[in-house]
Amino acid sequence: MTLRRLLAAVALAVLASPGTAPAATISTTNFTVSAPSDELARRFGEMAEYYRKEKALDWLGHEMPTWRQRCPISIRITESHGAGGATSFTFGSDGTRGVVATQQMEIYGPVRQLLYSVLPHEITHTVFAYHFGRPVPRWADEGGSVLSENDEERTTHDIKCREILNSGKAFRLQVLFRMVDYPRDMIVLYAEGYSVSDYLVQRGGGGREGRRKLLQFLAMGMEGSTQKSHGTPESWNSAAQRVYGTGSTDALEAAWLDALKNPAARVAARNAGNTHGLPASIKGTEYATAGGSRMEVRSSAAPGLPILEPPVKAVRGAAPEFEPVNVTRPAARPAARPATPDRPPPVLLPPEIPRPLK
């Protein structure tokens, strides 16, 4: 039975858009890669195996065993339609625990963006699926996978989260943690999910230690899950206390918002091709440099999802109680109102605009 379905109809529509269609197929130990050429299929196969090992070590502390069935990856190269991907799973049981029964991946976009953001994002989904053997809460599945993307993508998600908080569109963590389906405004889940995931990893010690604590938090929080809810308020409160030492998800939320109000100084990435740790066959090629390419801002889990707007400073303001029914906006700002119970208070700071390196 399929327990995790992505937007298949939308995905097919996007993947059918103009671009270089798959024409060659190669197999690696764990993947079957279809790409426009033998060379690209080989390179993407090598990178998929590399990220599979790297992300498993980052999150689990050990490599995953060889999959019984290779994961198909379909690659479409485009230059003007953004970048994104979709990874779908079916889950079963080996008699003792949940396991991945089948999985498949489709990605599209410019070569560099696929190699250094989309592919590691989608491979991270496979690590989560293997570890839990069941669907992962959307906020963590997407937010944790964004952690695998490049600095520019993560910076953009951070800025977008601040804009969402300031506009009153964010979810209270007690609501976000238990969500099973994508919300109507899916970009809220992506940006807020990334911000919360990044905060929890840092709070847990950063690096691999912080990632493993986030996995522990998810496992405890999901206790008592149903088809309509990931975990219960009590399970998430208990997980927050046991893993992060806070009394509840509300206390964890307050700490997260406080961290956003006091961001660490940083600058936008201007990486001219950091290939440290990449497979030897990839280094020194035209695909191993990001220099000169424009930043692609995208949603990587399901093709056709809203694309993040370019970073802009948010207007200070209080969260509204409700969404306006019509699109006509009053000339004057209405009086400030308290946030509704399912929305956190605004950060009340303009998003940080990174300064380019000199």
Domains of the chain, start order: 1-134 (no CATH), 136-270 (1.10.390)
- For residues 353 and 159, the answer to whether their CB atoms sit within 8 Å is yes
3-state class of 293 per DSSP? coil
Predicted structure pTM score: 0.74
- pLDDT of 313: 31
- For residues 45 and 30, the answer to whether their CB atoms sit within 8 Å is no
Alpha-carbon separation of residue 224 from 5, 173, 178, 236, 249 (angstroms): 22, 17, 11, 10, 16
Please report, as a single letter, which amino acid is at residue 103: Q
Place of tokens 């809220």: 188
- pLDDT of 346: 64
- pLDDT of 320: 31
CA distance 8 to 15: 10
Q: What is the pLDDT of residues 170-222, one digit of tens each?
A: 999 999 999 998 888 889 999 999 999 999 999 999 999 999 999 999 999 99
CA distance 254 to 263: 15
- pLDDT of 89: 94
Question: Alpha helix (H) ranges present in 69-137?
Answer: 111-113, 119-132
| Intervals of the chain under pLDDT 50 | 1-17, 267-274, 283-340, 348, 350-358
All residues at 6 or more sequence positions from 225 whose CB lies less than 8 Å from its CB, including other chains:
231
DSSP class of 16: T
Question: Alpha helix (H) ranges present in the chain?
Answer: 8-15, 38-60, 111-113, 119-132, 138-146, 151-166, 173-176, 186-203, 207-221, 233-244, 249-261
CA-based nearest residue to 104, from 40, 36, 34? 34
> 87: buried, middle or exposed (CB in 10 Å: 19+, 13-18, 0-12)?
buried
- pLDDT of 82: 81
Sheet containing 31-35, strands listed edge to edge, beginning at the edge strand earlier in sequence:
24-27, 31-35, 71-77, 98-109, 84-93
